[in-house]
Amino acid sequence: MNRDFKDIPTEYLAKIFDTVRIIDFKNNRVVIENVKNINSSVDKNCYSILCKDSICKNCIASRAYYENETVTKLENSNDKVFLVMATPITDGEEKYILETLKDISSSIIFDDQNLPQKEVLVDHMKRIDELVVKDELTDVYNRRYLNERLDIDIKSSIMNNFELSLVMIDVDYFKKINDRYHHIVGDYVLKEFVNVILNNIRSDYDWIARYGGEEFAIVFRNTDIKEATLYSERIRKAIENHNFKYDNINISVTASFGVSSISEEINNSGLLLQKADEQLYVAKRKGRNRVENA
């Protein structure tokens, strides 16, 4: 193996943490499980150590990789509380994540007896994890989650020879709604808008994120551009026909859609988002309340 990671203080870290490993984040694989033995390479999912069967929603390896700084979180697994730290490191021109885990279940000390016990702490941890990746107003994923997760889903789809499509959605003339009815009604429209979308996607398979303002993104996994366009048209009609009513105010709401899918040329999040955004603007130029695809 070509990796040497000579600068890692392996003995020092091993005394502090229960697990010290090196992750190839781009492929979500553990490449070295025990840094004491740098030459012992492995190849397994990075999330399996926490007894999970899918990528963590609040993935700190992802955040450390993209923000290029150390990120820390508390993680609950099998009634245990783990302190997890992720630090970006380089080996030549390649960037990896040095991840350390410590079981702190029996070593947490509270100075104040009124502080929450472990069970309550775990609930707080889950809530914090949600706040990091969720949009406060609509309770769907936020742009940070989209930026971190989309590339992962794209790579997974390419590796497994699956299709993947992205849909960018914009609420038509949302500024006019805000200007006429004020922000409280605008907030209601966005929340209700999201509910309509959630009722028309596969909740255990697809996901939606608020991209910014009145713009949203839907990721349709294992879905080609033809299917994604059909799904988008169904959502468009559902929004157009939905009764958006706040108190005694009836609001007419429509949306424009831009659809793109992965291909040999479109193989990363930047290109996929760009292509979907281009199609969204085509839909707007053609009069809005329509679906366009690449």
Compute the mean pLDDT over every residue in the chain, rounded to the nearest whole number.
86
**pTM of the prediction?**
0.76
The tens digit of pLDDT for each residue in 103-115 reads: 887 776 655 555 5
Q: Please, are residues 178 and 294 in contact by the beta-carbon 8 Å criterion? A: no
The type of residue at 203 is: S
Domain presence at residue 110: no
Is there a domain that residue 261 lies in? yes
The verdict on 147 and 240 lying in the same domain is: yes
Residue 96: give its domain's CATH number: 3.30.450.20
Write phi, then psi, for 51 (nearest 5 degrees).
60, 35
Report the CATH number that the domain containing residue 175 is assigned in CATH: 3.30.70.270
Average pLDDT for residues 183-204, to the nearest whole number? 96
Owning domain of residue 247: 143-293
Same domain, 74 and 23: yes
Same-domain pairing of 100 and 162: no
- pLDDT tens sequence across 4-58: 555 666 677 778 888 888 888 877 778 877 655 544 555 667 776 665 667 777 7
Pair 71, 154 in one domain? no
> What pLDDT digit, counting tens, does each position of 194-231 carry?
999 999 999 889 999 999 999 999 999 999 999 999 99
Count of C-beta atoms within a 10 Å radius of residue 21: 19
Residues 28 and 160 occupy one common structural domain: no
Residue 70 sits in the same domain as residue 150 = no
How many distinct structural domains can be found in the chain?
Answer: 2
For residue 226, the surrounding DSSP H or E stretch is: helix 225-241
CB 186 within 8 A of CB 175: no
Query: How large is the greatest C-alpha to C-alpha distance in the chain, in angstroms?
Result: 69
Domain termination site, one of 76, 105, 134: 105
Is 214 a known active-site residue? yes
97 and 152 both lie in a single domain: no
Set 99, 214, 215, 292: catalytic member? 214
